[in-house]
Amino acid sequence: MGIRINNMEQVVELTEVGEGIIQIKMQDKESKNTFSQALTAGLMEAFNHVKNETKYKVVVLTGYDTYFASGGTQDQLMKLTEGNSKFTDFDLYSLSLNCPIPVIAAMQGHGIGGGFAMGLFADFVILSQESIYTTNFMNYGFTPGMGATYILPKKMGIVLAEEMLLTAKKYRGEELQARGIPFPVLRRDKVMDYAYELAATIAEKPRVSLVTLKDHLVGEMRQELPKIIEEEVKMHAITFAQPEVKDRIKTLFGN
């Protein structure tokens, strides 16, 4: 459906799926949508394209099959333990927040760690009943990053956010729905239809009005987030330095 604009090295596909509606599809099947170099570059290129193209009014951000986004790669996490990089080296977490037009995160598949946090920064979030959603940072022994300590309480409420961040448990979408999260949670095969219908409703509005209203609605978040990111980086400097963290990443990654 629509016209492929650029295959972004085939791991990020940018497609017009309706008038004023642009879809960004993450499909790095080799890495299962972890933040590989190719996926990272593709996402940044895609959002930059959207930013510079004034015919678009709304973005649908989605994944492939049973994966939405899976967070950092094992190699990236190991580099963090060595102090050779920071998650802020590539600002994936606020791409949706800083996008001038509304973004719909159609999380039809699993959202893991930073991948789940990235999705929550969208203006609209749709989950699937069957998929797993987790902020699993603490399973590896290090504190959450990617703005997770800010966006989870903001979007899901402090009680559930603390539980998810501190325990690092896995939750099916239907479990989160039963906990009263404020997002639609649908069968996986219904998520995209819902997202396209929502996008079409948004795209009926004038772009200038959409941009102006989004600037107003998320202005406070855009101002507050950098301070939170600074604090998360400081916590990483402490927690990634623990020897057991490197061992956990080696043995537990992907489980």
Alpha carbon 142 to its chain's center: 19
Could you say which of 49, 110, 216, 236 is catalytic? Answer: 236
Q: Based on the residue annotation, tell me whether 49 is a catalytic residue of this protein.
A: no
Write the CA distances from 27 to 19, 32, 55, 112, 229, integer angstroms. Answer: 23, 8, 25, 15, 27
- HSE, side-chain direction, 13 A CA sphere, residue 186: 14
Can you tell me whether residue 27 is helix, strand or coil?
A: coil
State how far the Cα of 92 lies from the Cα of 114, in Å rounded to an integer: 9
Q: Token pair of 183, please?
A: 């997002």
* Complete DSSP assignment for 71-91: -S-HHHHHHHHTTS--GGGS-
Query: Which residues participate in catalysis according to the annotation?
Result: 236
